[in-house]
Structure 1
Amino acid sequence: MHQLKLKKPLAFFDLETTGTNVVNDRIVEICIAKAMPNGDLNVKTWRINPMVPIPAETSMIHGIYDEDIKDAPTFKELAKPILQFFEGCDLAGFNIIRFDVPMLVEEYLRINMDFPVHNRKMVDAQKIFHMMEPRSLSAAYRFYCGKELIGAHSAEVDTLATFEVLSAQIQKYQGVQVKDDKGKEFEPVKNDVNALHELTATKMVDLAGRIIFNEKGEEIFNFGKHKDRKVTEVLEKEPAFYDWMMKGEFPLDTKRKLTEIKLRGFNLKR
């Protein structure tokens, strides 16, 4: 039985992959630990054949080698049961906003399916951890749970450790106030998925974080020569930048969001 206050299931998940490039790399293992409002925790783990070789240096990190997954189903074969297990859930994990969610969305887009995130709250225990105690998952587990993380970089071990870490973070920081960048005190961590989503996931426009919202709620670029400039302003003054991004090695989700902003601006002018 867990202590999280939930109105709907919260799916903790972790991916093991062939590498860290969202555009080019593939998933080889996924574990989902679904925390239910009644206190239950349902866990499922799938091994996946990525249809490309796993680099030796990557296999040495997570312990999954080509031989281990040569007979495993492909992502396309597992896409529907994975999506069904996520059905009706908000999302949680460690660094999911910068890596796991973009990687999962990208895998679905490759097979012409959509993994919907717009209607889900997202809670990233890493963001809370780095705000309150900047360190890694193993250190977070040691700090919050008082135990050593044995078998790190296994999807199931990391997923369940993150579940324990977030639960401990809520117990430790609920009621604790910190100062924002303007010196104003506020209570960032609450036992409420809406509040945790607001804390960890609301600035993003695309899942890779290439486009974010500024304090005025305007979409701005978060990288390169146009960093901190409004997307609509850049697209209007430098249309070639849109073409460059669409031809470049950016995630499909980023290109989709950029196109939505461009089309919205076009429709406003009509």
Structure 2
Amino acid sequence: MSWHLGRLAGFDIESTGVSPERDRIVTACVVQCGGNQPVASATWMADPGVEIPEAASAVHGITTERARKEGAPAAEVVEQVVTALTAVVLSGIPVVAMNAAYDLTMLDREARRHGVQPLAETVGADLRVVDPFVLDKQVVPRRRGKRTLTALCEAYRVPLDGAHDAAADALAACRVVWRIGQQYPEIGSASLDALHQQQIGWAAQQAADLADYFRRTPGKQDRAKTVRGDWPYIPHQRTGGAS
């Protein structure tokens, strides 16, 4: 059976900012869907232990005050999220994450910050990820406009109720990759092992192309230095590490 017709596990994080190295998890969701089984969703809200900037609150709706009042300790949330994803991965279910390198890198750094064994060290080579951001750039390389989850949902006619809500985004990402698998046989018929490896190469090439574009664009040259092609997460650098 094609991978997109089986069980999928959407994963999404909403955070204090845009840096997976420095920022913190505020909400997270792991939702299992598909495979002719009911949807099963687990969501968390964390007290990140730091102030949530107003700009971040404006995106996901969680203020510092609310996180402190309703959120669980960050270490507890991170451990539970890693445990949930470990169970998914060891069951042979692919993790679906929009721009996976962001969410999985942030989870990795949060785990290290709070003394939790990181997902990568727990599941090792068993991790299989499907990233709608990488897939869309591969199958429609010249698509105009943004490639946000909202934009991809519009392109693939997927409903998205409550963008920037971790649960809504995680489920929508699964629906987008299902559409891509249906519309592009070369994606849908690939084995999970092959597709995971292909995405590693595609993400690296896409990053190289983006960096080259920045280098050739006046006023954007410095942005080329910040482009990373690591996928599905950025390896932890023990000499630098996360703060």
* Normalised TM-score (structure 2): 0.71
Q: Which amino acid aligns with 2:108?
A: V
The one of 26, 29, 43 equivalent to 2:41 is 43
Q: What is residue 27 of structure 1 aligned with on the other side?
A: 25
Which structure 2 residue ranges, 5 or more long, are not aligned? 208-223
The separation in 2 between residues aligned to 1:169 and 1:189, in whole angstroms, is 7
Q: Give, in angstroms, the shift of residue 252 of structure 1.
A: 9.2
Tell me by how many angstroms 1:58 deviates: 1.2
Question: Residue in 1 aligned with 2:103?
Answer: 100
Higher relative contact order (CA 8 A, sep 6+): 2
Matched, 1:152 2:163: yes
- Tell whether 2:237 aligns with 1:255: yes
Query: What's the CA shift string for 1:16-39, capped at 9, x where partnerless?
Result: 000011222100000111247564
The count of residues paired between Structure 1 and Structure 2 equals 204
Worse-superposed segment, 66-75 or 78-87: 78-87
Give distance in 2, aligned partners of 1:124 and 1:152: 17
Q: What SS is found at the alignment partner of 2:41?
A: strand
Q: TM-score, normalised by structure 1?
A: 0.65
In structure 1, what is the equivalent of residue 85 of structure 2?
86
User: SS of the residue aligned with 2:11?
Assistant: strand
| Pairing 1:192–2:195 present | no
Corresponding residue of 1:232 = none
1:166 is the counterpart of 2:211: no
Contact 2:45 2:72 survives alignment (8 Å): yes
Between the aligned partners of 2:188 and 2:137, the Cα distance in structure 1 is 13
Question: 1:113 deviation in Å?
Answer: 2.1
State the distance in 2 between where 1:96 and 1:54 align: 22
SS at match of 1:44: strand
2:115 equivalent in structure 1 = 112
Counterpart contact for 2:21–2:105, Cα < 8 Å:
no
Distance 1:254 1:146, change over 3 A: closer
Identity of aligned residues (%): 26
Deviation string for 1:28-54 (max 9, x for gaps)?
000111247564431111011101011
What is the Cα deviation at residue 204 of structure 1?
A: 8.1
Unaligned runs of 5+ in 1: 175-186, 210-222, 229-250, 260-270
Change (3 A) 1:164 1:21: same
Change (3 A) 1:171 1:59: same
Q: Does the Cα contact within 8 Å between 2:9 and 2:174 map onto a contact in 1?
A: no
Letter in 2 for 1:194: D
Cα distance, 1:30–1:115 mapped onto 2, change above 3 Å = same
Corresponding residue SS for 2:236: helix
Letter in 1 for 2:171: L
CA distance in 2, matches of 1:67, 1:123: 35
Does the 8 Å contact 1:12/1:93 carry over to 2?
Answer: yes
Partners of 1:30 and 1:193 in 2: how far apart?
24
Task: Assess if the C-alpha contact under 8 Å between 2:111 and 2:118 holds in 1.
Answer: yes
Give me the whole-angstrom Cα distance separating, in 2, the residues matched to 1:19 and 1:58.
Answer: 6
Instruction: Find out whether 1:142 has 2:158 as its counterpart.
Output: no
User: 2: distance between equivalents of 1:144 and 1:18?
Assistant: 29
Tell me the CA shift for residue 74 of structure 1. Answer: 1.7
| Coordinate RMSD, CA, aligned | 3.4
Find the partner of 1:123 among 116, 130, 154. Answer: 130
